Amino acid sequence: MALKSDSMKKGISKAPQRALLKALGLMDYEIDKPLVGIVNSFNEVIPGHIHLDKLSQAVKTGVKIAGGTPLEFPTIGVCDGIAMNHPGMRYSLPSREVIADSIEIMAEAHAFDALVMVTNCDKIVPGMLMAAVRINIPTVIVGGGPMLAGRLKGEDIDLITVFEAVGKVQTGGMSESEVQEVIRRACPGCGSCAGLFTANSMNCLCEALGISLPGNGTIPAVYADRTLLAKKAGVAVMELLKKDVRPKGIITKEALENAFTVDMAIGGSSNTVLHLSAVAYEADIDFDLNKINEISRRTPNLCHISPSGPAHMQDLHEAGGIPAVINELMKKDLINKNAVTVRGRTIGEIAKDTPVINNEVIRPVDDPYSETGGLTILWGNLAPEGAIVKQAGVSEETLHYKGKARVFDSEEAATDAILGKKIVPGDVVIVRYEGPKGGPGMREMLTLTSALAGLGLVTQVALITDGRFSGGTRGCAIGHVSPEAAEGGPLAFVKEGDEIEIDIPAQKLVLNVDDAEMETRRQGWTPPEPKIKHGYLARYARDVSSASKGAVI
């Protein structure tokens, strides 16, 4: 079998390279084997990554068992929860591009034959997915697994419980000493936060895409099965190498449709649209946002995992996980069953052996939570290129909503107004200049949505932004409004008191201002000065695309 690494290590002209490889302590026997890059985003900052050093060791064991030589290298990561609600959040989404770029640099510079990517958390998983299809050598992605839910007074809690506690303190519904108890118990150990937030959504969708082994999305981080999964991934990548199965042969248009279908069924984070759009871009796949609504219309929502309901990721795992969800969806022919996977079996073959164990966690396809999916793309004069809402987290009261605009030009200003009790039922909170360019970095605004929930306003107030909302968001929170305000999108021309109409079932987001008035406002608008003028964020803001295109460089 001809190896890519042969171009770097074979022949007399490559004697210097072999000398350097031997300096690593490698024997000639090891150098002559396939060289498998183990990308590891381990660090001591992110709870979802603190244990990845151990998983990486398990992957390396699997590679060695199957006849390869593993060589580990790192990449960066940002913890969205720690970065939330301060300037650090501007770096979260832009870090995705750095992750993809850094992996490309390492893989191509060192001529690896295959890759196993050990990852977790919000931007690291999609960054690695983007790199996988861009580099296009045999690759398996291994997630670090979800955190277990915390327990308080006999109930499961998670990080969102802490965020919402902040709002409860403002109303007198919780004391600061009670918040301290929530803090102590909400995050009991390593793993990505326990609900179906962006990190766990993306790890689940890696299964649906076929680029990860079954269980990748739901096996808890602390279970021995997570270590076993990592070891199996090391073995699996060597089999992919033998058969020359590459990411672009796995992540196809059909696989993306499967991923979005599963996303709708489980009610995943709205950020998955941003990330899968970026993956499609890297894979040279044209994936129109209208296709997402088409998939949503035909896909029933089967799961209400936190923040949409009381269940957590360990409950989804025990109910059968993603294969069981796919098993249900196949009953109505909603899945491309012949899509290939890194396991060497089709997605249909894997799922047919996994029945649902708990119908309270994964509803039968004939008795869903709703007949349509968890995400909806909205269109209208306020979002000509689209906006997104996590419909599964929206209450019945706000599916159809009309209210008066309260306009804020930053997350901080909106947060102060909400916590200062200046937002009342019937308001539509507009947070603009927070998009990919305007932010810059398209900050996530979990503090806003959690504050509304804590204040008891989550069913009485709507939020609209060109920024993003966390996968932990619930309520009528509409994000990714495109084009963004900083590029002269209609959001820039909304005035205090304007009437805004939201109709989620009809996929409409409308500003009730006539065209002539909008044109007058457009003519009088002046683009804002860039908030960041130097460094990485300034370069990012200059080159980044619209959110409707995945916010790619």
Which amino acids are annotated catalytic? Answer: 470
Residue pair 318/358 in contact by the 8 Å Cβ criterion: yes
Nearest by Cα to 39 from 118, 99, 144, 110: 118
Cβ neighbours of residue 463 under 8 Å, at least 6 residues apart? 428, 429, 431, 445, 448, 449, 452, 469, 475, 476, 477, 478
Residue pair 31/18 in contact by the 8 Å Cβ criterion: yes
Q: Which helix (H) or strand (E) holds 31?
A: helix 28-32
Q: Rounded distance, CA 220 to CA 217, Å?
A: 9
Cross-strand bridge partners of residue 155: 152
Residue pair 51/57 in contact by the 8 Å Cβ criterion: no
Cross-strand bridge partners of residue 488: none
Cis omega (within 30 of 0) on the bond before 70? no
DSSP 8-state secondary structure symbol assigned to residue 301: B
Q: Which residue has tokens 């060497």?
A: 344
Exposed, middle or buried, 79 (CB in 10 Å: 0-12/13-18/19+)? buried
- Return the structure tokens found at 348: 């249909």
Angle (CA) 507 377 300, round 5°:
85
Nearest by Cα to 118 from 64, 70, 83, 65: 70
Strand 69-74, strand 35-40: pairing = parallel
**Dihedral of alpha carbons 27, 31, 32, 33, sign:** positive
Q: Which helix (H) or strand (E) holds 72?
A: strand 69-74
- Return the structure tokens found at 75: 């990449």
Which strands sit side by side in the sheet containing 139-143, from one edge to the other? 69-74, 35-40, 114-119, 139-143
